[in-house]
A and B are shown apart, each in its own frame.
Chain A
Amino acid sequence: MANPVEVLNSARKQAGKAAALSAALTGLPVAGTLATFGLLLSITSASWLERYGVLLTPQVAHKAEAVIFALVFLVVLATLAGASQAYLKASRPQDVAARIDRELAAKEEIVTFAEASFSEDSGSSATARSPLFPLLSDRVAGYLESFEPSRIFAIPTRRVVLRSSLTSLCVLITAFTALLVYARLTQPPYASQIETLHELASKLAESSPSPENAVLAKRLAAVADVLANPALTAREKLERIAALKREVEELERRETAQKNPQSSSAGSSGSAHNKGSGSGENSGNEPAGSGNGEGQNERNQGGGGKKPSKRQTTSSPVNEANREIAEIERELEQQSRRSRQSSTGFERPNDHQQQEASADTGPGENPTKSSGPKPGVNEPQKGNQPEPEQKLAGANAKENLRSPRRGTGLGDTRLGEIPAPANYKRFYAFGEHGPGLTVKDARYVVVSLPPAPQAASGGKIVAGGPSAKATTPYANLPLPKEDLAANPQQQQLVPPRYWDLLR
Chain B
Amino acid sequence: MGVAPRMSPAERVAEFRDVFTRAETEVGRVIVGNQSTIRKILTALFCGGHVLIEGVPGLGKTLMVKTVAQVLGLSFKRIQFTPDLMPSDIVGTQVLVEQDGRRDFQFKPGPIFANVVLGDEINRATPKTQSAVLEAMEERQVTVLGTTYHLTPPFFVLATQNPIELEGTYPLPEAQMDRFLFKVIVSPPKPEELREILIRTTGAVSYQPKPIFEPAQAAAHVERLKALVREVMIAEPLERFVIAIISSCTPGSPAALPEATQYLRFGPSPRGAQALIMGAKVNALLAGRVNVSYEDIEDVVIPALRHRLLRNFQAEAENVTAEAILEQVLKRVKRARA
Chain A, range 115-132, C-beta contacts under 8 Å to B: 115-116, 127, 130-132
State the CA gap A134–B12 with chains docked (Å). 13
Known: A132-B290, A139-B289. A108 touches B10 (CB 8 A): no
Any A CB within 8 A of the CB of B159: no
User: Nearest CB to that of A133 among chain B residues?
Assistant: B233
Known: A131-B9, A132-B13, A135-B9. A107 touches B236 (CB 8 A): no
- Tell me which of A108, A133, A135, A139 contacts B235 (CB under 8 A): A108
State the CA gap A111–B337 with chains docked (Å). 14
**Contact indicator B293/A136 (Cβ below 8 Å):** no
CB distance from A94 to the nearest CB of B (A): 7
**Contact indicator B237/A109 (Cβ below 8 Å):** no
Contacts of B231 in A (CB 8 A): 130-132
State the CA gap A132–B290 with chains docked (Å). 6
Known: A98-B237, A132-B232. A108 touches B9 (CB 8 A): no
Task: Map CB proximity to A onto B1-25 as digits: 1 under 8 Å, 0 otherwise.
Answer: 0000000111011000000000000
**Contact indicator B9/A116 (Cβ below 8 Å):** no
User: Nearest CB to that of B284 among chain A residues?
Assistant: A107
User: Nearest CB to that of A127 among chain B residues?
Assistant: B233
State the CA gap A138–B289 with chains docked (Å). 11
CB distance from A397 to the nearest CB of B (A): 82
Any A CB within 8 A of the CB of B291: yes
Contacts of A98 in B (CB 8 A): 237
**Contact indicator B237/A130 (Cβ below 8 Å):** no
- 15 pairs from A and B in contact (CB 8 Å cutoff): A107-B289, A108-B235, A108-B237, A108-B238, A108-B291, A111-B235, A112-B291, A112-B292, A114-B235, A127-B233, A127-B234, A130-B231, A131-B231, A132-B290, A139-B289
Any A CB within 8 A of the CB of B295: yes
State the CA gap A187–B141 with chains docked (Å). 90
Chain B, range 220-250, C-beta contacts under 8 Å to A: 231-238
Known: A98-B237, A108-B235, A112-B234. A134 touches B9 (CB 8 A): yes
Known: A132-B9, A135-B13. A127 touches B235 (CB 8 A): yes
Contacts of A127 in B (CB 8 A): 233-235
Known: A115-B235, A132-B233. A109 touches B291 (CB 8 A): yes
* Chain B CB within 10 Å, residue with most, of A98, A114, A116, A131: A131
**Contact indicator B294/A94 (Cβ below 8 Å):** no
CB distance from A133 to the nearest CB of B (A): 7
User: Nearest CB to that of B230 among chain A residues?
Assistant: A130
Contacts of B8 in A (CB 8 A): 135
Chain B, range 130-189, C-beta contacts under 8 Å to A: none
Chain B, range 282-316, C-beta contacts under 8 Å to A: 287, 289-295
Contacts of A139 in B (CB 8 A): 289-290
**Contact indicator B237/A111 (Cβ below 8 Å):** yes
State the CA gap A115–B238 with chains docked (Å). 11
Contacts of A116 in B (CB 8 A): 233
- Chain B: interface residue total (CB-CB under 8 A): 21
Contacts of B10 in A (CB 8 A): 135, 138
**Contact indicator B295/A107 (Cβ below 8 Å):** yes
Task: Map CB proximity to B onto A355-386 as digits: 1 under 8 Å, 0 otherwise.
Answer: 00000000000000000000000000000000
| A-B contact sample (18 more), CB < 8 A, given A108-B235, A127-B234 | A94-B236, A94-B237, A107-B287, A107-B289, A107-B291, A108-B237, A108-B292, A109-B291, A113-B291, A115-B236, A131-B231, A133-B233, A134-B9, A135-B9, A135-B10, A135-B290, A136-B290, A139-B289
**Contact indicator A112/B9 (Cβ below 8 Å):** no
State the CA gap A115–B10 with chains docked (Å). 21
Chain A, range 146-169, C-beta contacts under 8 Å to B: none
**Contact indicator A130/B233 (Cβ below 8 Å):** yes
State the CA gap A130–B235 with chains docked (Å). 12
**Contact indicator B295/A112 (Cβ below 8 Å):** no
User: Nearest CB to that of B237 among chain A residues?
Assistant: A111
Task: Map CB proximity to B onto A79-121 as digits: 1 under 8 Å, 0 otherwise.
Answer: 0000000000000001000100000000111011111100000
User: Nearest CB to that of A134 among chain B residues?
Assistant: B9
* Chain B CB within 10 Å, residue with most, of A108, A135, A136, A138: A108
CB distance from B144 to the nearest CB of A (A): 39
User: Nearest CB to that of A102 among chain B residues?
Assistant: B338
CB distance from B194 to the nearest CB of A (A): 37
> Closest 6 A-B residue pairs measured CB to CB?
A112-B291, A132-B290, A135-B9, A107-B293, A112-B235, A111-B235
Contacts of B295 in A (CB 8 A): 107
- Tell me which of B9, B12, B13, B289 contacts A109 (CB under 8 A): B289
State the CA gap A154–B7 with chains docked (Å). 43
CB distance from B150 to the nearest CB of A (A): 27
State the CA gap A131–B231 with chains docked (Å). 7
Contacts of B289 in A (CB 8 A): 107, 109, 139
- Tell me which of B13, B290, B293 contacts A130 (CB under 8 A): B290
Contacts of B291 in A (CB 8 A): 107-109, 112-113, 136
- Tell me which of A108, A113, A133 contacts B294 (CB under 8 A): A108
State the CA gap A179–B293 with chains docked (Å). 56
State the CA gap A178–B195 with chains docked (Å). 82
State the CA gap A127–B236 with chains docked (Å). 10
State the CA gap A107–B293 with chains docked (Å). 5
State the CA gap A366–B237 with chains docked (Å). 93
Contacts of A138 in B (CB 8 A): 10
State the CA gap A139–B295 with chains docked (Å). 18
Contacts of A109 in B (CB 8 A): 289, 291, 293
User: Nearest CB to that of B236 among chain A residues?
Assistant: A115
User: Nearest CB to that of B297 among chain A residues?
Assistant: A108
State the CA gap A134–B291 with chains docked (Å). 12
* Chain B CB within 10 Å, residue with most, of A116, A132, A138: A132
State the CA gap A107–B291 with chains docked (Å). 9
User: Nearest CB to that of B294 among chain A residues?
Assistant: A108
User: Nearest CB to that of A111 among chain B residues?
Assistant: B235
